[in-house]
Chains A and B, each alone.
Chain A
Amino acid sequence: MSEPTVPHEPVLSVANLAIELPAGADRLYAVEHVSFDIHRGETLAIVGESGSGKSMSANAVMGLLPPGTRAAQGTAKLDGIDLLRLDAEAMRAIRGRRIGMIFQEPMTALDPLMRIGDQIAEVFEAHGLLAPAERRARALALLTEVGIPEPERAIHAYPFQLSGGQRQRVVIAMALALDPVLLIADEPTTALDVTTQAQILKLIRELQDKHGTAVMFITHDFGVVADIADRVVVMSKGRVVETGAAADVLGAPQDAYTRQLIAAIPTGRPAAGDGPRKAAGETVLEVRGLTKTYRSAGGFFRPARVVHAVRDVSFDLARGETLGVVGESGSGKSSLGRCLVRLIEPDAGSIRLNGQETMGQSVGEMRIWRRRMQMVFQDPYGSLNPRTRVGRIVAEGPIAAGMPIGAALKKAGDLLALVGLDASAVDRFPHEFSGGQRQRIGIARALALDPEIIIADEAVSALDVSIQAQVLRLLADLKTRLDLALIFITHDLRVAATICDKVAVMRKGEVVEMGPAAQVFGDPQHEYTRRLIAAIPGRAEGDAFGARAAAI
């Protein structure tokens, strides 16, 4: 399929692109003055935080802009043809044939009611290629090529029978079925676990090398950029702020915003300037043999299923200490946190708070000691009640504990100031705040009952990297000032390595390895820990910036 192209003639050339938003939006254009080129066999990464317009630009090239928006200015030339001027039918002929695309959410990217093989064969059908029998054979070959185990069986499978990583492989197979000159990958690994992410990135790279496809890779993750990109476009608020070779942009960023972004990336090393760590204070929490098992009710005719959410977990936590709990999705790390505060009732084990056993206590007693162990949640939107004023949200705990409402609201105001919010925040509703501000409100709420232990469950995972850094600093600062013990649950090993003293690595409900952060990351003993660390994108021997950047 590959045709002779003049060297250095770009496969795709976007010039001065502007995308108009529907009337009544907060600004006229979603993106403006966007220009970039992609060459054959090259990977161009478009990096930016949420709302930067990176996905919009990709959708414009694909002719898949959401209703109400349109490409108002500029050109997007694919081998000399301006895609923005094509009619619907001509654009349809290009989609799938000349440009392939893969998406963020593999779980929902496939028609749930159609067999995998048929969905792949449909690509050929859409472009009137091959006879039905040949389509089937090609589908099988493609499944083999993208590394699906047992392709003969997978071809008959429905999407729900495949894992997220396997589904993403199927989407890649469909995108590359007709050997397109350009592949657009819109955050294709963001929804995947880190080890799966590494496999998918490797697959994309291999296929690209084999077919010489140009890849436009949209991501928010500089680690991934370091792994995969030849050149980088950095976007912010709908504009391109920096373009250049990956090594240059990552190693010596010119633009202030890019510099700020790169500085905000967790380094994976203990934060500098923290000084020598204090010797740990007295032990506040002793956990022994904590276990939670879920048994799905089998009923008359079905066999029961057993899932070990938390399995025989033991650890100690001292005042002033940060314990990181890391693991992939389904590892039980969130269940562990919820077992500690008894949002989930453990089946067995012992939880001693300041030497006092908390298991087997009455509901009333539990309400008292639970004040000493509070939680910061993951979802900046779901964790605050949209119908309650922020002051009241923070004050609920003290009020429930018997404090008069006036005093509780005053305390709430003080705490909001402590986490860096304006005093007027008390009377406002959560929707008036940004994601990072909402996490600050969540932290203020956790502090309202003067706890000794804070459990932060993926507390920064939903935030953009620059905001993430601020919230992490706030947490570390509060920990020192208030002499708290912190349990930090995260899937992001770089974050854990940056702020934790001790780390526990979990898999399938079990702690497979636990020790001082430097030791676990520097000299991992368990095979699973080693795999996790190896999969961190952009990583080369303890450094956040990757092999490629270094090699170029």
Chain B
Amino acid sequence: MQTLQFLLSRLAKGILVVLAIVVLDFVLIHLAPGDPASVMAGESGATDEAFVQQLRVKFGLDQPFTTQLGLYIWGVVRLDLGFSHRQQMPVLDLVLDRLPATLLLTGAAFVFSLTVGVVMGAWAAAHKGRPLDRIITTVSLVFYATPLFWMALMAVLIFSVWLDWLPAFGLYDVGGNATLGERALDVARHLVLPAVTLGLFFTAVYVRMTRASMIEVARQDFVKTLRAKGLSERVILRRHVLRNAVLPVVTLAGVQAGQMVGGAVMTETVFAWPGIGRLMYEALIQRDYNLLLGVFVVSAAMVVVFNILTDLVYRMVDPRIEVSR
């Protein structure tokens, strides 16, 4: 019951955030260079002033600002994100077409980075001050400092061009007559490089967070009680310290999700991954502002949904929240 209440209030908050993003979006569209009507007219080849005016009326651009905002929000509510005049398709269709690839990529990168990050961070904390700790923290610092797009390029250069181990571009190679298993394997092979490069930066973040959190928890009073009970260091570390240390990492990982969407733009661009990040890049090159902002709104909404999911998971894992809030 309380979880349901929490979910409702969390959803209400999420909707408000998305609404605010839509308003921001609308403001930005208006600040975009060029009057939309003239842009449209230019694209259809006509420069006739009367035609431009006609377009203005048709798209409500002659209305007062607030009316236009209202119309825009109403459009978004009906899932109408506008029209891409370059690609001659509704923005929503374009985005939905590309969304699954991005979800696959970011999902894989998230799972990879969280798992490896927590394991490595815990490992480093357990060997605090010793060589293993130094190695893990140094390596993670290097990945933290490496530009994502450059790491992607280098991965292509090394693993694809020089070593020829993995495919560098696209989502799949095999044709239509391949079996389901072959297809899955093919996609998985294409997924490795983009997911790992995207994930490595975040792995570095989680390693540092987990390590710091473990060291912080290990300093808390209750650890001394555990020692006084006669528990072995291994049990103390695995059963108690790690469990307590992972909770804040999970919350922060949820917050980091937004960064991952940004990272996807770089990764998808380099690896020609057909997701919304790549779509954003294309919109950027073509100066297709409707599409650009459409992708932005959808990715922000995605992050909001993901944040709600993490909050729910957190609620289920941490017993303290159930009653105290």
Contact = CB atoms under 8 A, between A and B. Distances in A.
* Direct A–B contact present (CB less than 8 angstroms): yes
Interface of A: 62, 64, 92-97, 100-101, 103, 105, 108-114, 122-123, 126-127, 158, 160-161, 171, 174-175, 299-302
A113 B230 contact: no
A301 B231 contact: no
A175 B235 contact: no
Given A103-B224, A111-B222, A301-B9, A95 B320 contact: no
A160 B222 CA distance: 13
Interface in B226-277: 226-232, 235, 240, 243-244, 247
25 contacts: A62-B228, A64-B224, A64-B227, A92-B230, A92-B231, A92-B232, A93-B230, A95-B228, A95-B229, A95-B230, A96-B230, A108-B221, A111-B222, A111-B226, A112-B320, A113-B243, A113-B319, A113-B320, A122-B231, A126-B230, A160-B320, A160-B324, A301-B6, A301-B8, A302-B5
Contacts of B240: 111, 113-114
Contact of A299 (B9, B222, B243): B9
Interface of B: 5-6, 8-9, 12, 220-222, 224-232, 235, 240, 243-244, 247, 318-320, 323-324
Contacts of A95: 227-230
Q: Which of B9, B222, B224, B319 has the most CB of A within 10 A?
A: B222
A108 B222 contact: yes
Nearest to A108: B221
B229 A122 contact: yes
A296 to B, nearest CB: 11
Given A113-B320, A122-B231, 13 more contacts: A64-B224, A64-B227, A95-B227, A96-B229, A96-B230, A108-B220, A109-B224, A110-B222, A111-B240, A111-B244, A160-B324, A301-B8, A301-B9
Contacts of B235: 126
Given A108-B220, A113-B243, A158-B320, A127 B230 contact: yes
Nearest to B227: A64
Contacts of A94: 230
A127 B228 CA distance: 12
A123 B318 CA distance: 23
A498 B318 CA distance: 47
A62 B6 CA distance: 45
A113 B323 CA distance: 14
A301 B5 contact: yes
Main secondary structure of the interface of B (DSSP, over half): helix
A109 B221 contact: yes
Contacts of B5: 301-302
B228 A100 contact: yes
A317 B169 CA distance: 84
Contacts of A174: 225, 229
Contacts of A92: 230-232
B320 A110 contact: no
B244 A126 contact: no
A319 B185 CA distance: 89
Given A103-B221, A105-B221, A108-B222, A113 B244 contact: yes
B298 to A, nearest CB: 28
A174 B230 CA distance: 11
Nearest to A160: B320
Nearest to A299: B9
B218 to A, nearest CB: 11
B228 A64 contact: yes
Contacts of B12: 300
B239 to A, nearest CB: 8
Nearest to A95: B230
A417 B274 CA distance: 77
A97 B320 contact: no
Q: Would you list the 7 A-B pairs with minimal beta carbon distance, nearest first?
A: A96-B230, A108-B221, A301-B5, A101-B228, A95-B230, A96-B229, A126-B230
A97 B231 CA distance: 11
A101 B228 CA distance: 6
A4 B121 CA distance: 50
Which has the most chain B C-beta neighbours within 10 Å: A96, A108, A113, A302? A113
Contact of A175 (B8, B224, B228): B228
Contact of B225 (A93, A97, A110, A158): A110
A459 to B, nearest CB: 27
Given A92-B232, A126-B235, A113 B224 contact: no
Contacts of A299: 9
A37 to B, nearest CB: 22
B215 to A, nearest CB: 12
A108 B226 CA distance: 12
A96 B222 contact: no
Contacts of A101: 228
A97 B228 CA distance: 9
A93 B12 CA distance: 54
A174 B235 CA distance: 17
B241 to A, nearest CB: 9
A281 B136 CA distance: 72
Contacts of A97: 230
B274 to A, nearest CB: 42
